Structures are given as C-alpha cells and as structure tokens.
Amino acid sequence: MGWCSCYKPTLLLIIAFTFFISQSFAAKFSVPFIWPLPAKFSFGNETLSVDPALSLIGTGADSPIVKAGFDRFKGIVFSNGYGFGFVTTPKAVYAVNRLNVVVHNQSEELQLGVDESYNLFITKAIGSGKVTIEANTVFGALRGLETFSQLCSFDYSTKKVQIYKAPWSIRDQPRFPFRGLMLDTSRHYLPVNVIKQIIESMSYAKLNVLHWHIVDEQSFPLEVPSYPNLWKGSYTKWERYTIEDAYEIVNFAKMRGINVMAEVDVPGHAKSWGIGYPDVWPSPSCKTPLDVSKESTFDVLSGIMTDMRKIFPFELFHLGGDEVDTDCWTSTSHVNKWLQSRNMTANDAYEYFVLKAQHMALSKNWTPVNWEETFNTFPTKLHPRTVVHNWLGSGVCPKVVAKGLRCIFSNQGVWYLDHVDVPWDVVYNADPLEGIQEASEQKLVLGGEVCMWGEVADTSDVQQTIWPRAAAAAERLWSPRQFTTGRNGNLTALPRLQYFRCLLNRRGVAAAPVTNLYARTPPTGPGSCFEQ
Ligand SMILES: *[C@@H]1O[C@H](CO)[C@@H](O)[C@H](O)[C@H]1NC(C)=O
Ligand SMILES: *[C@@H]1O[C@H](CO)[C@@H](O)[C@H](O)[C@H]1NC(C)=O
Ligand SMILES: *[C@@H]1O[C@H](CO)[C@@H](O)[C@H](O)[C@H]1NC(C)=O
Ligand SMILES: *[C@@H]1O[C@H](CO)[C@@H](O)[C@H](O)[C@H]1NC(C)=O
C-alpha cells in the first residue's frame, strides 16, 4: 500500500481487462473503478460490508446540502439499480455502519473556483468500520460522497453492499474549476424534469457547470416579466419555462454543486425575440442580427438581464456573440443611415453591440463570457474580465491567454456532442491546455465544456448523445493530467469508461454503448454492458 499519485498499468493489467466480468472484478485491478480518477489514492485488500442503515454523523450532518446528498447516496447504493434482496435480519453484521462527514466551512455559497477538494478514508475498526469524508466545503463533501458511492457495489452472493480493496485513502481535487456541459433548449425544448435528470447525471461525473443556452433564433421559451411577450417566441405555449421553473433548475443544480451559466446570444441568434417585439428586427423581411440602431433593442436586452440576474447567481453570464452576419444592417435603410451617421462599418457596429452588452452584464456584477468570434474580430477591445469561449477549432485558447484573458475550451472537432461521429477516445484525448506552456497562462484556462446542441437532439435521444462521451471529457477536466495523457495515461480508460457507462445505466441514465461507430447508437448485438 502506498500513495499512487501516478500509476503504472502493466501489460498484465491490460490483458486482465479483457477477461473480466464478475461483480467483484473491480477488486482485481490496481486502478480503481472510480470515474473520474481521484488525484491520489491508495488501497488495501480487504472487503467490507456496508450497513443499509448507514448513519450520517459529523458536522456534515448539519448541512441540508450534505444531508440531501447522503439521502441520494443511499437511494443509489441501497435501492436504485441494485437488487432488493438485502440481508435485513437484526443478526446481520456489517463492517461499516457510520459515515462521518467533516465539513470545515458550512457556507453554501457556490461560485467559480469553490473548493471541491475532499479526503475519503475507509478504515476497519474493531466491530465498527468507519468511513470519513473530510472537506473544506459542503460541495467538496458532495464530491466525496460520489466517490464513495462508486466504491460501494452490491454482491449478489452475500446480498450485501460491499467495499472492495479496503482500507481506502483518497485525497482528491479537480484539475480545472470549470467543468461544463451545454444544453440547448431553443432548437428543441427539453422538459424541466429532463433537465433535472441531466443535472443529476452530471453530478455522477463531477461536472460542475450547466451552460444553459436557453434561447436562440428558433424559439424563446423563457418567461421574462419585464417583456412578457418574449415567450410568445416559444414553439408552442406548452414549451416554456416559467420564472419558477428556472429557479427550480438553478436550485436543483446547486444542491448537487453545479452552477448554472445562462446564455443570451446577441446580436445574432436572437430572431425569436421579434415574435413578441418585432421592433428588435432590422425589418420584418430582414430579421437578424438585432437592430443595433435602436436604443429600444438595448432596453429589451437590459430588461432580460435584469430579470435573469435575480434567477442566476453564478458570476459568469454568457453573451454569445457568434456567427453575426451583418447583411441586414447594411441592407436595411434606417440601420444603414445610422451606421453612416456614426461613420461605422457593419463590423464596427458588431463590436459596438458586443461591448455595450458586456458593459450591461458588468454593471449587473456579472462576468461576461463570449464565443470566440468576438475575440477573433476585436481582441484588444474586449473587457479585461471577459472569458472567451472557444468553439471553432484548436489553438484559440493559447492566443486568448497570451492576451491575458481567460478561456473555456470547447473545440467543436472534439467536444461538440452533436458531432456524433467523434468517438469517445478523441473526446478523451483532447486537452484544454494544448499548446500552452507557461504556468501563468495555463491558470487562465478555466477548463472546458462539452456542448449538446439541440438541432437533432431532444428528449428522445439527448441522454445517450451526452453519455458516455461527456464522461470522457469529465475525467480529462477532473483528473491529474498524467493520469489521462501520454504513454501510460489513457491505457486503462476504455474498460473504466465501459464500467462507468454501465454504472450510469444502473442509475437510470440512458448512456449509449462506448465503442459504437456513431455515438448514441444502440448495441449492435447481444452481449455484456461491460464489453460494448
Ligand atoms: C493484505 O494486505 C496485508 C497488508 O498489506 C498483507 O499483509 C496481506 O498479506 C495481504 N493479504 C492478501 C490475501 O493479499
Ligand atoms: C467560509 O466560506 C465563505 C465563502 O467562501 C467565506 O466567505 C468565509 O469567510 C469562510 N469562513 C471561514 C471561517 O473561513
Ligand atoms: C469617417 O472615418 C474615416 C475612416 O476612419 C475617416 O477618414 C473620416 O474622416 C471619418 N469621417 C467623419 C465625418 O468622422
Ligand atoms: C492515448 O493517447 C495517445 C496520445 O497521447 C493516443 O495516440 C492514443 O490513441 C490514446 N489511446 C487511447 C486508447 O485513447
């Protein structure tokens, strides 16, 4: 036993993977089946049973967030997905019957960079084994609970939940503070319960930001009290989110240590606003981008932001700014006159719009996030607090951080989940720090995000398009780089990801087979979950 801050998979290990499966197979290997891999871990060779009446003790028991996390843990480990044949006779003896959660700071403030580190110790004392999770914040404690849940598995012969390879000692923390998944509810509406299921599944992979691309040109589902006609731009009156729905989603996410970063994509991608307020269009026949020449356009934007600020406490707010085709500005006479009177080109007006929107967000104490075209077009004009969101290709974050701005990595060639021809290993092998050597510049990369654009994904296929590939990115974003990169780095990833995908399935998530040619396709024939 010893700290495995880096591990060495052997050829034997790789061969062994091809021979599994038994319910205790995780016990046979020296790399644990925890996804994403913890930063440091060591383990022994004992098996401990866990009492279904496991009790929560310690300062964590005083926290509603930890308490709720513990209840979810019990639901997952002792009922959902596992058999119901528990040994419940009073005579049954279990090695582990208490979970001690020590939280050093009970603050429930969830912001970018919140301390998510935790230690997890599983030891066997005489008569009563104890599990201790120690964390600086309640959110670190949640991450520890998730890891603990992945170490518990039902043994079909003893009919007990077992922990293999105890004692365990885990010291863990994320590699990046921003580990995101984007959902698009404009191209297709997603019901609130489906969004909640996705948030729940994100917590299993320790993702911590839901980027909610709520509105776009096709539909405007969100209620905005200041401008009540905006959601007339929803597809139907049943495909909408009330203010209460939005609060519910934010709170549900927070209970799982997940921030919600809302997006209002301007000035392009906003055509749906004009269903309720046609004045925001340059003209009824030329509808995008938003009319830059009218002050009333900015009044609507300001009203949206004021209402949304009450719902979304996360410090980052996404202002879009991508794919702005300015033809309607130059071809619509009143807009063109406005441009000329100010001696502006259409490109100047694009910059003017983005900077004005940034100013509005900043005045509401939000940090603006913008898609990379804004940086590509006027890099020196963006506010210094701007976070640039990469998507078009590789090599953008290196340029962004060289200019001292922060960056989120989402290169579409590797981390756009709607690209269903991108296999899991291409997702896994992409690294947000690619091409960035200086430590001071690496710090400016907040992390990355996988994007689930909704043109061809709705409730019928969204979960299997997200999973398992989002998990590949999640390990890249959480685990130390030497675990996921290089000669030894990714050798054990495939069987571990197959295991995690089966764990998702067991927990009710419709994650697709890992190795099919196209993501989200069903199995190609009979076989074990663990081998596809
Ligand atoms: C289990 O680990 C202990 C302590 O490292 C060692 O002494 C013992 O031989 C091991 N037992 C087995 C069956 O490997
Ligand atoms: C606890 O955390 C909050 C939020 O980060 C912070 O404001 C507060 O100072 C911390 N309290 C202690 C005692 O460190
Ligand atoms: C308009 O801009 C052009 C190019 O920047 C400049 O040469 C010209 O003097 C400007 N005209 C006015 C009226 O500001
Ligand atoms: C592991 O990473 C290397 C690059 O570091 C890559 O060439 C290889 O294909 C990867 N293997 C898997 C199984 O992803």
The CATH H-level superfamily of 11-172 is Chitobiase/beta-hexosaminidase domain 2-like (3.30.379.10)
Nearest residue by C-alpha to atom 12 in ligand 2: 105
pLDDT above 80 for 275:
yes
Catalytic residues: 323
- For residue 262, the cross-strand partners are 212
Using DSSP's 3-state secondary structure scheme, residue 249 falls into helix
Ligand 4 atom with least separation from CA of 428: 14
Cβ neighbours for 15, distance < 8 A, ≥ 6 positions apart: none
What is the identity of the amino acid at 517?
Answer: L
Compute the distance from residue 98 Cα to the ligand 4 centre, in Å: 41
CA distances from 378 to 324, 374, 382 (A): 13, 6, 7
- Ligand 2 proximity of 107 Cβ (cutoff 6 Å): yes
Residue 44 CA: which ligand 1 atom is closest? 2
Cα(368)–Cα(366) distance, integer angstroms: 6
Q: How far is the CA of 320 from the centre of ligand 3 (A)?
A: 30
Q: Does residue 88 surpass a pLDDT of 80?
A: no
Query: What one-character-per-residue DSSP string does 323-378 give?
Result: S--THHHHHSHHHHHHHHHTT--HHHHHHHHHHHHHHHHHHTT-EEEEEHHHHHH-
Domain boundaries, the chain: 11-172, 178-485
Q: In the prediction, which pLDDT does 129 show?
A: 67
Ligand whose nearest atom lies closest to the CA of 475: 4
Residues 349-382: tens digit of each pLDDT: 999 999 999 999 999 999 999 999 999 999 999 9
Q: Residue 115: pLDDT above 90?
A: yes
Please report the pLDDT score of residue 24 as a whole number: 39
- The architecture CATH gives domain 178-485: Alpha-Beta Barrel (3.20)
Higher pLDDT, 251 or 129: 251
Check residue 130 and give its pLDDT. Answer: 81
pLDDT band at 293 (very low <50, low <70, confident <90, very high): very high
- Torsions phi, psi of 119, nearest 5? -115, 140
Distance 1 CA to ligand 1 centre (A): 9
The closest-lying atom of ligand 1 relative to the alpha carbon of residue 1 is 5
Confidence of residue 9 (pLDDT cuts 50, 70, 90): very low
Label residue 485 by pLDDT band (50, 70, 90): confident
pLDDT value of position 374? 98
pLDDT given for residue 525 in this prediction? 94
- Choosing from 422, 425, 476, 491 the residue with most ligand 4 atoms within 8 A of its CB, the one to mutate for a pocket test is 425
- Region 421-449: mean pLDDT is 97
Q: What SS3 string covers 419-466?
A: CCCCCHHHHHHCCCCCCCCCHHHHCCEEEEEEEECCCCCCCCCHHHHH
- Provide, rounded to the nearest whole percent, the portion of the chain with pLDDT above 90: 86
Classify 295 as helix, strand or coil.
Answer: helix
What's the chain's average pLDDT? Answer: 91
> Is pLDDT larger for residue 57 or for residue 24?
57
Residues with CB under 6 A from ligand 1: 1, 44-45
pLDDT at 16: 36
Which atom of ligand 2 lies nearest, measured to the CA of 105? 1
In this structure, the number of other CB atoms found within 10 A of the CB of residue 380 comes to 6
Rounded to an integer, what distance in angstroms lies between the CA atom of residue 95 and that of residue 116?
Answer: 28
- Asked whether this chain's domains 11-172 and 178-485 adopt the same fold, the reply is no
Whether residue 109 has its Cβ less than 6 Å from ligand 2: yes
Q: What is the pLDDT of residue 31?
A: 78
Instruction: Tell me the whole-structure pTM to 2 decimals.
Output: 0.92
